[in-house]
């Protein structure tokens, strides 16, 4: 019987490359499945707490092995290239990552829509946002070291560090110390549809999941009201607008 490793070593170069790509894919998928099952069994709050601990160890472990294979140095637990990269380049990289994130979202949506129709695609989309939005909020809280009672001031900061903030144009209006109105003035998705002379994408059902769950994760006492979101009529200045209020 041949050793399995020797069989792989004799495989075609193209097959080996595809196996490498699939290995990255499998790691990402397995990581996501672990999170999904911990959330299912223990709840979202505990899953996010555990994921935060897992990520630090998992990323460091994988980065260490990859650095030895590809020959790059690690400094402060990140590839050293990031330590010397100019701020403008880092901002540009964040923008490109934001676009990739949004494109990935769209590819998933269109794939489901093509096979099962708009209704199922929107159901999947809205459920996805119910998981992703609080996850993103929690990661931002950790990044900015926001307290659980950071209020409207904390929410204003957090909204500026979302993936959206790098690729859309948005604004925040202070109503009073406990209330703000957040507006999405330009949206890549809606702008693209506008260029194609299509109607606005009716994203309100997703927004009604996304924004309240994001705000509650930042501070559980913040409530969310939709001022307008497609398919609602809206002024030219914004596509959607949301009112956040801290209940005191």
Predicted confidence (pLDDT) per residue in 175-231, tens digit: 999 999 999 999 999 999 999 999 999 999 999 999 999 999 999 999 999 999 999
Q: What is the mean pLDDT of residues 39-68?
A: 96
Q: Which of 13, 167, 198, 18 is nearest to 96 (CA)?
A: 167
pLDDT at 2: 55
pLDDT at 8: 76
- The Cα 56–Cα 206 span in angstroms is 30
- The Cα 63–Cα 57 span in angstroms is 10
* Residues of the chain by 3-state class (helix, strand, coil), percent to 5: 65, 15, 20
Q: What is the mean pLDDT of residues 23-45?
A: 97
- The Cα 222–Cα 243 span in angstroms is 10
Helices (H), the chain: 4-9, 13-42, 44-70, 80-84, 87-116, 118-144, 151-159, 188-195, 204-218
CATH of domain 85-248: 3.30.1380
- Model pLDDT for residues 63-88, shown as the tens digit of each residue: 999 999 999 999 988 999 999 999 99
With H, G, I as helix, E, B as strand and everything else as coil, classify residue 162. coil
- The Cα 130–Cα 139 span in angstroms is 15
- The Cα 192–Cα 99 span in angstroms is 13
**Residue extents of the structural domains in the chain:** 12-81, 85-248
Look up the pTM and report it: 0.92
- Kind of pairing between the strands at 179-186 and 169-176: antiparallel
Q: Return the H-helix or E-strand segment holding 66.
A: helix 44-70
Q: End-to-end distance of the chain based on CA atoms, in angstroms?
A: 72
A 10 A CB-CB count for 209 gives 20
Which class for 156: exposed (0-12), middle (13-18), buried (19 or more C-beta within 10 A)? middle
pLDDT at 3: 63
- The Cα 235–Cα 204 span in angstroms is 15
Residue 17 has pLDDT above 80, yes or no: yes
DSSP conformation class of 198: P
pLDDT at 10: 81
């Amino acid at each position: 019987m041949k050793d399995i490793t020797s069989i792989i070593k004799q495989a075609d170069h193209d097959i080996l490359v595809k196996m490498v790509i699939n290995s990255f894919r499998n790691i990402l998928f397995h990581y996501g499945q672990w999170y999904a099952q911990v959330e299912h069994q223990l709840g979202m709050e505990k899953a996010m707490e555990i994921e935060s601990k897992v990520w630090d160890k998992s990323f460091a472990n994988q980065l260490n092995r990859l650095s030895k294979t590809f020959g790059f140095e690690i400094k402060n637990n990140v590839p050293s290239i990031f330590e010397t990269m100019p701020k403008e380049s880092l901002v540009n990289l964040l923008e490109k990552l934001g676009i990739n994130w949004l494109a990935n979202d769209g590819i998933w949506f269109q794939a489901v829509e093509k096979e099962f129709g708009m209704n199922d695609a929107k159901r999947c989309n809205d459920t996805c946002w119910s998981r992703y939005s609080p996850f993103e909020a929690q990661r931002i809280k950790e990044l900015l070291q926001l307290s659980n009672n950071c209020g409207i001031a904390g929410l204003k900061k957090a909204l500026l560090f979302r993936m959206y903030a790098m690729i859309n144009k948005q604004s925040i209006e202070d109503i009073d110390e406990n209330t703000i109105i957040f507006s999405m003035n330009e949206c890549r998705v809606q702008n693209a549809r506008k260029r194609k002379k299509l109607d606005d994408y009716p994203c309100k059902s997703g927004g009604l999941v996304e924004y309240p769950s994001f705000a509650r994760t930042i501070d559980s006492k913040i409530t969310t009201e939709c001022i307008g979101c497609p398919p609602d009529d809206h002024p030219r200045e914004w596509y959607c607008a949301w009112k956040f209020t801290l209940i005191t």
